[in-house]
Chain A
Amino acid sequence: MKVLVPSGVNQVERMNAAETAWLIHECIAGNNDAIEIFVRRHEVDVFRLALSIVCDQAEADEITQETFLSALRSLRSYQERNSLKAWLYTIALNHSRSHLRKRKILEKLRSAVSTVFQFEQSQKQPSPETAVILNETELALWAELNKLDEGHRTVMILRYFHELSVSEIAEILSIQEGTIHSRLHNARKKLKSQLEKLHGE
Chain B
Amino acid sequence: MQISHEEAMRLIQFHADRTLNAEKEYLLTEHLRTCEQCRTHARQLSQMEAVLTGVMRKQWSLRPAPLAIDILTEKKNSRKVQGALLVTRSAIVSLAFLVFVMIGWQLTLTNNPANGTLPVMPVIPTPSTFYTATSHTLQDCVKISYQVKDSDTLASIAEHFSISSDILKEANHLSTEALEPNTFLLIPVCDSTPTSTINAPTSTITPILEPITRTPG
Contact = CB atoms under 8 A, between A and B. Distances in A.
B61 A48 contact: yes
B16 A166 contact: no
A65 B44 contact: no
Interface residues of A, number: 49
B84 interface: no
B44 A188 contact: no
A176 interface: no
Contacts of A165: 18-19
A84 to B, nearest CB: 17
Contacts of A57: 62
Contact of B17 (A44, A184, A192, A196): A184
A191 interface: yes
Interface string A48-71: 100110010100110011001100
Give the dominant DSSP class at A's interface.
helix
A113 B100 contact: yes
A61 B65 contact: yes
A88 interface: no
B48 A141 contact: yes
Contacts, number: 110
A161 B56 contact: yes
Contact of A166 (B17, B44, B100): B17
B44 A32 contact: no
Contacts of A142: 55, 59
Interface of B: 13-14, 16-19, 44-45, 47-49, 51-67, 69-73, 75-76, 79, 100, 104, 107
Interface of A: 30, 32, 35-36, 39-40, 43-44, 47-48, 51-52, 55, 57, 60-61, 64-65, 68-69, 72-73, 113, 116, 127, 129, 132, 134, 137-138, 141-142, 145, 156-157, 159-161, 165-166, 180-181, 184-185, 188, 191-192, 195-196
